[in-house]
Structure 1
């Protein structure tokens, strides 16, 4: 039986109940985070918690617990669920109000909800075979640096990508790739690995940031600039990063083969570097 955490209590996930008047449900007025678990430990926890704090601060939600206590809850859920490999999902909303008003009353108690998901990602077919992506118009709001629970555009993009035979969607704006629907997009050129610079136009991916740092430490240049779909199709390699995939090679974009159609050596090397980093620093 899966154990979750809701507003101070550990309880069976099936018994977790959140008010239908919760602003996360009515307004998507909330923030979420997803942390990977490897060998029963949290991966890159400090980065995820720092981003949680940045996002909640940006929309004016106060965290109901200090970051150290939130991390302790995550660890406790991993233990209670016997989770060895998978994800910890965390969501904090502004809370539930008696009336549906765009302006929340002062002093509203936030809702904090966490649960775990067993999910293999160290040894899966997508690592060996690579994945396909489909490009989609970027229909999201302007503050993509905030990890909002408002994910309708991403969900629609992923559904369209699946219909096109792809496993991820790359969002495109003004001809340039912004990021994946739930990942950071990279390509490999003669200049090094290329990815978008941080701004309000993209989410600062924790896995992507760590992987970029590892690349530089190993002598691989990191170029932060926008790239077009055409440039990506002509790249030596392409890959995505996220907490739930770590680093996966992209072997097709809109049906066109990238490189020789197999996972590239640079992406595979970076994936192993990240896994080694994750195991060494996990808490």
Structure 2
């Protein structure tokens, strides 16, 4: 699906109740998001001006906020109105919406969570950066790395330094993603969820505090059930990963991307596999229906 040119840029962001130019946005240096990474975020794709699974994204936002002892500062309708106004700046375009909620500023730096402070709410949109057709057709390389992140990876927290370093290590080694290993089990990618195919069956690790509950991950499972692709949620050992017939990574920006080489060795025959080809077609059909307004945002 063609995206907008990179020259097209939105003129406004949303910050704490105001729509304003990005260069006019200001946040206190005492904001706990700045000082502690005390906040959560969401990334919501928009296809042809239609939001992708908004209810699921807002539900995950609620869960993340609850996990860090915060309440959602906005009602569902308020969120939708903000998002619709921002995506309206690039009518009909594929976009990526980023929203972030931090705990705000109490005026001092103290680890203790303060009472009664106003959260900082920030939203922006930008032209979509999805995998190019060549990448989806040929696949990417991946490496495995030790999962050295914290124990609440189910929270979509803005504290992403560990993920940044892991992904950078993959890029340094000429790979497009790092698949993370903890206690002998593959958990997810540095910035993606993980699927493998063994003997024609699609397998992904079950939801837990070790991985992010991905919206795209859940859609892939739904599409597999709808289209008769055998699938299950099961822990993936490092041995299973090494012997997989196919490996995929999924996210809002990666969509469904095949991995054709792992740690320098081909996955399967070194090309995207037949189950991936079927899922890619199902995913493309879903996007087309969303664009056409035939399924809800």
TM-score range, shorter chain: over 0.9
Superposed, 1:1-283 pairs within 5 Å as 1-2=9-10, 3-82=12-91, 84-121=93-130, 123-190=132-199, 192-278=201-287, 279=290, 280-283=294-297
TM-score (norm 2): 0.91
Check whether the contact 1:97–1:104 (CA below 8 A) recurs between aligned residues. Answer: no
1:208-239 superposed Cα distances (whole Å, 9 cap, x missing partner): 01110110121112221111233223211110
Aligned counterpart, 2:4: none
* Helix, strand or coil at the partner of 2:88: helix
Distance 1:160 1:122, change over 3 A: closer
TM-score (norm 1): 0.95
| In 2, Cα distance between equivalents of 1:28 and 1:89 | 16
Distance 1:13 1:82, change over 3 A: farther
| In 2, Cα distance between equivalents of 1:271 and 1:95 | 41
**What is the deviation of 1:200?**
1.3
Check whether the contact 2:100–2:123 (CA below 8 A) recurs between aligned residues. Answer: yes
In structure 2, the gaps of 5 or more residues are 1-8
**What is the deviation of 1:261?**
1.2
1:26-84 superposed Cα distances (whole Å, 9 cap, x missing partner): 11110100011111111111111110011101111122211221122112111024461
Distance 1:60 1:116, change over 3 A: same
Check whether the contact 1:43–1:281 (CA below 8 A) recurs between aligned residues. Answer: no
**What is the deviation of 1:282?**
5.0
Check whether the contact 2:131–2:253 (CA below 8 A) recurs between aligned residues. Answer: no
| In 2, Cα distance between equivalents of 1:271 and 1:12 | 37
| In 1, Cα distance between equivalents of 2:170 and 2:129 | 22
1:143-185 superposed Cα distances (whole Å, 9 cap, x missing partner): 1111111101100001000001011111110121100111110
Distance 1:15 1:282, change over 3 A: farther
Check whether the contact 1:49–1:67 (CA below 8 A) recurs between aligned residues. Answer: yes
| In 2, Cα distance between equivalents of 1:159 and 1:274 | 28
* Helix, strand or coil at the partner of 1:281: coil
Check whether the contact 2:45–2:97 (CA below 8 A) recurs between aligned residues. Answer: yes
In structure 1, the gaps of 5 or more residues are none
- The count of corresponding residues between Structure 1 and Structure 2 is 283
